[in-house]
């Protein structure tokens, strides 16, 4: 009997995340490659928005996908992949914060950037938003970033962070109130 042929990355690119995760769980490295290429930038962007730390965002993204590899057999069919992935990312970030330290890749803790961020037209506005978000408590910042910037529902966020939907809504509401205060101060130059 002939052995089943493993689909290539090119053949898998058009598939949805959940079938790809099932293929990965059954041993397809190509499926993992597609999932990584599809979601690594989004995970990194989310963690960067929450932390404003590029090196940490890179570390957490790597830890997230290592966790996906380790947890692939426990992925429950019918579960939406993206909320599951982002829950892993947020848990990796919380774990890192509990440890309170991280290993730096260079003496000054930075990696060279290919693009000069200051040349972006929205650089100043983005910097002000980052400052305002940094002024929020972690739980409020997570709720806002996951809802507004990553597009998750409050119910999905509740599942990710292990809270009730109403608790997440309260965190987001309080965060928005605090952001209003902080952004007014930023515009006035008082922060």
The reported pLDDT for the residue numbered 187 is: 60
Residues 126 and 96 in one domain: no
Residue 105 lies in a domain: no
Helix (H) or strand (E) holding 134: helix 123-134
CATH label of the domain that carries residue 145: 1.10.10.10
> pLDDT tens, position by position, for the chain (191 residues)?
455 666 777 778 888 899 999 889 888 889 899 999 999 999 999 898 888 888 889 999 999 999 999 888 888 888 888 888 988 898 888 888 777 654 444 445 555 444 455 544 555 556 666 777 778 888 888 888 888 877 788 998 888 888 899 999 999 899 888 888 877 765 665 44
Residue 112 lies in a domain: no
Cβ atoms 15, 34 nearer than 8 A? yes
Residue 106 lies in a domain: no
CATH label of the domain that carries residue 38: 1.10.1740.10
The reported pLDDT for the residue numbered 104 is: 44
* Distance from C-alpha of 56 to C-alpha of 155, rounded to nearest angstrom: 27
Residues 184 and 132 in one domain: yes
Residue 109 lies in a domain: no
Residues 78 and 147 in one domain: no
pTM over 0.75: no
The reported pLDDT for the residue numbered 115 is: 44
The reported pLDDT for the residue numbered 169 is: 93
Short-list 66, 60, 39, CA closest to 48: 60
Question: Which of 100, 131, 149 lies at the terminal end of a domain, its last residue?
Answer: 100
What is the domain range of residue 175? 122-191
Inter-CA distances, 110 with 47, 104, 107, 119, 159, Å = 16, 8, 8, 19, 33
* Distance from C-alpha of 170 to C-alpha of 162, rounded to nearest angstrom: 14
Domain count across the chain = 2
Residue 149 lies in a domain: yes
Question: Which of 100, 130, 151 lies at the terminal end of a domain, its last residue?
Answer: 100
């Amino acid at each position: 009997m002939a052995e089943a042929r493993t689909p290539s990355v090119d053949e898998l690119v058009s598939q949805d995340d959940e079938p790809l995760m099932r293929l990965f769980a059954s041993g397809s490295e190509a499926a993992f490659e597609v999932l990584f290429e599809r979601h690594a930038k989004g995970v990194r962007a989310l963690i960067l928005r929450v932390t404003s730390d590029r090196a940490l965002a890179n570390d957490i993204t790597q830890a997230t996908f290592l966790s996906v590899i380790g947890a692939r057999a426990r992925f429950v069919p019918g579960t939406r992949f993206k909320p599951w992935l982002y829950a892993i990312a947020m848990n990796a970030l919380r774990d890192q914060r509990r440890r309170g330290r991280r290993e730096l890749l260079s003496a000054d803790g930075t990696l060279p950037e290919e693009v000069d961020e200051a040349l972006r037209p929205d650089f100043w506005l983005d910097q002000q938003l980052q400052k305002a978000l940094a002024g929020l408590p972690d739980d409020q910042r997570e709720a806002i970033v996951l809802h507004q910037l990553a597009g998750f529902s409050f119910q999905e966020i509740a599942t990710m962070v292990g809270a009730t939907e109403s608790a997440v809504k309260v965190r987001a509401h309080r965060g928005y109130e605090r952001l209003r205060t902080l952004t007014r101060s930023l515009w006035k130059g008082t922060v």
